[in-house]
């Protein structure tokens, strides 16, 4: 099949894009309106008002009763875990593939992450494996809507209800994605979000915890913005009582001022990402050996990243060589095998350095056999066979056509 292919840019040929796409996206995301919102807050005197307004607007957009705005998605997961009632030593089931932000909150609470395997097509958590990993110590399940693709919430909620375990949706990559007509973050017992700059919308850094459950909301608030304190009076004067651990995870009001503007744009941003994402789905459908993201039944993908699946047998290149070639053509992309959450020294090193400053929970160190290479075979196989392309609402039709061209060019050059 080789011989007639165009010379790849990585080998000195002319790149598809003279100017690489997918650069400086975070910088382009916020502009004059956001700057004015922040300036108005500074001019008028800093207060927490934008935080309350942002919480209200975000929860209203989702039809959820309670929202707690925090300073990162990592904090949102931590607060979600605490709100769900997880205690140190309890187990929390989460997918083996995600950003490390999905697991840090579990570890911060001295709870034990239990990794479930994923579906080989969607890369999202596999409910059958979740159920097999439920134990009497399981106190929460975290569903991650990976790359913007909704996880199988019906099945997960069913498992959660039958075992009396709350389900937390990690929506950090899936703003306004929908599952069976419902926005993600509204289906589980708790929904958490990240608003770091690369996400669909941003508060520069920030996160949100949402729930309809009054008890979870109270705990979330006390643990994060409440700092574990109750306010009252002593001899007629203001007095604070520490009732438990609480970290000051409050969102920065300047970030909330940005978020209020961004939220107004979110519907258009997601629609635009979806439009161009679906356009590429159709364009690359017929490239032998490559597949567009598998869309789960009745789901609306929010296209945070665009995952391209490679049939390993169809190419002479692995995901690293393929991604390097695609990058040289001007397409921002990468393999994602660092998303295999357990495949890092902190979990797999038989004798990890016990640096007390960065200590994982004792239970994670003490049972090194709990985590091993091969424990989630679909996750390992899936990650070895896909790359993700940076996606953006700023991509034009021409950009998408260019991505298609680059994918065809690289696929042809590396065809086995
Ligand atoms: C799935 C997921 N969860 C949690 C986080 C943590 O969010 P943050 O970076 O805002 O701490 C991220 C961050 O990218 C993420 O992708």
Rounded to whole angstroms, the Cα distance separating 115 from 124 reads: 12
Cβ-count burial of 153 within 10 angstroms (0-12 exposed, 13-18 middle, 19+ buried)? buried
pLDDT attached to residue 136: 97
Q: Is the minimum distance from the CB of 169 to ligand 1 under 6 angstroms?
A: no
Indicate the pairing of strand 91-95 with strand 112-116. Answer: parallel
**Predicted TM-score (pTM) above 0.85:** yes
Place of tokens 């896909």: 386
Residue nearest to atom 12 of ligand 1 (CA): 101
- Give distance in angstroms: CA of 43 to centre of ligand 1: 32
Q: What pLDDT does 348 receive?
A: 86
What's the CA dihedral at 300, 302, 306, 312 to 10 degrees?
Answer: -40
Regions of the chain short of the pLDDT cut 70? 1-4, 352-359
Give the pLDDT of residue 357. 57
Instruction: State phi, psi for 92 to the nearest 5 degrees.
Output: -125, 125
Question: What contacts 45, CB < 8 A, 6 or more positions away?
Answer: none
Res 257: pLDDT: 98
Res 358: pLDDT: 62
CA distances from 166 to 82, 187, 213, 278, 394 (A): 11, 11, 11, 33, 37
Which residue is closest in CA terms to ligand 1's atom 7? 73
State in Å: Cα 306 to ligand 1 middle: 17
Query: Could you tell me the two tokens for 275?
Result: 């439009």
Q: Is 253 exposed, middle or buried (0-12, 13-18, 19+ CB in 10 A)?
A: buried
pLDDT of residue 352: 67
d(CA 117, CA 100): 16
Residue with tokens 């395997």: 117
Nearest 5°: the CA angle 169, 103, 187 is 5
Within 10 A of 360 (CB to CB), how many other CB atoms are there?
17
pLDDT at position 155 is 97
Strand partners, 70: 207, 250
User: How buried is residue 345: exposed, middle or buried, by Cβ count under 10 Å (0-12/13-18/19+)?
Assistant: exposed
According to the model, what pLDDT value does residue 1 have? 43
Task: Tell which atom from ligand 1 comes closest to the C-alpha of 206.
Answer: 10
Q: By C-alpha distance, which of 306, 320, 281, 286 is closest to 412?
A: 286
Cα 67 to ligand 1 centroid, rounded to whole Å: 18
- 150 burial (CB, 10 Å; 0-12 / 13-18 / 19+) is buried
* Helix 214-223 / helix 73-83 crossing angle, nearest 10 deg: 130
Instruction: Say which CATH topology domain 29-262 has.
Output: 3.40.640
Residue 170 CA to residue 113 CA, distance in Å, equals 15
Classify 325 as helix, strand or coil.
helix
For residue 40, the CA-to-ligand 1 centroid distance in Å is 29
Joined together, the tokens standing for residue 13 give 């040929």
Q: Are 187 and 151 contacting, i.e. CB atoms less than 8 angstroms apart?
A: no
Residue among 135, 138, 43 at smallest CA distance from 86: 138
| Residue of 173, 175, 191, 197 with the most ligand 1 atoms within 8 Å of its CB, for mutation | 173
């Amino acid at each position: 099949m080789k011989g007639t292919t165009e010379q790849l840019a990585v080998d000195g040929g002319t790149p598809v894009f003279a100017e690489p796409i997918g650069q400086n996206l975070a910088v382009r995301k916020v502009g004059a309106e956001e700057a004015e919102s922040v300036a108005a807050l500074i001019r008028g005197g800093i207060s927490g008002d934008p935080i309350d307004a942002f919480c209200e607007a975000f929860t209203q957009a989702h039809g959820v009763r309670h929202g707690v705005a925090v300073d990162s998605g990592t904090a949102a997961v931590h607060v979600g875990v605490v709100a769900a009632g997880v205690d140190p030593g309890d187990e929390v089931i989460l997918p083996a593939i995600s950003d490390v932000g999905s697991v840090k909150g579990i570890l911060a609470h001295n709870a034990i992450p239990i990794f479930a395997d994923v579906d080989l097509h969607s890369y999202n958590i596999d409910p059958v494996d979740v159920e097999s990993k439920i134990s009497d110590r399981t106190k929460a399940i975290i569903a991650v809507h990976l790359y913007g693709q909704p996880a199988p919430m019906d099945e997960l909620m069913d498992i959660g209800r039958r075992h009396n375990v709350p389900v937390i949706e990690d929506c950090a990559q899936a703003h306004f994605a929908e599952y069976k007509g419902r926005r993600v973050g509204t289906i589980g017992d708790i929904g958490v979000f990240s608003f770091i700059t690369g996400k669909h919308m941003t508060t520069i850094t920030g996160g949100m915890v949402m729930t309809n459950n009054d008890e979870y909301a109270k705990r979330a608030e006390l643990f994060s913005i409440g700092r574990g304190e109750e306010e009252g009076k002593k001899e007629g004067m203001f007095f604070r009582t520490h009732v438990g651990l609480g970290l000051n995870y409050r969102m920065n009001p300047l970030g909330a001022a940005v978020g209020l503007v961004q939220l107004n744009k979110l519907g258009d941003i997601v629609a635009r990402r979806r439009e161009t994402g679906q356009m590429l789905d159709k364009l690359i459908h017929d490239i032998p050996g490559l597949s567009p993201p598998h869309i789960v039944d009745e789901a609306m993908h929010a296209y945070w990243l665009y995952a391209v699946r490679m049939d390993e047998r169809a190419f002479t290149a692995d995901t690293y060589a393929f991604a390097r070639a695609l990058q040289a053509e001007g397409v921002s992309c990468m393999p994602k095998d660092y998303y295999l959450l357990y495949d890092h020294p902190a979990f797999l090193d038989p004798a990890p350095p016990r640096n007390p400053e960065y200590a994982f929970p004792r239970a994670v160190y003490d049972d090194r056999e709990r985590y091993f290479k091969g424990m989630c075979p679909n996750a390992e196989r899936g990650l070895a066979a896909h790359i993700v392309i940076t996606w953006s609402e700023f991509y034009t039709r021409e950009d998408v056509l260019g991505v298609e061209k680059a994918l065809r060019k690289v696929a042809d050059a590396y065809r086995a």
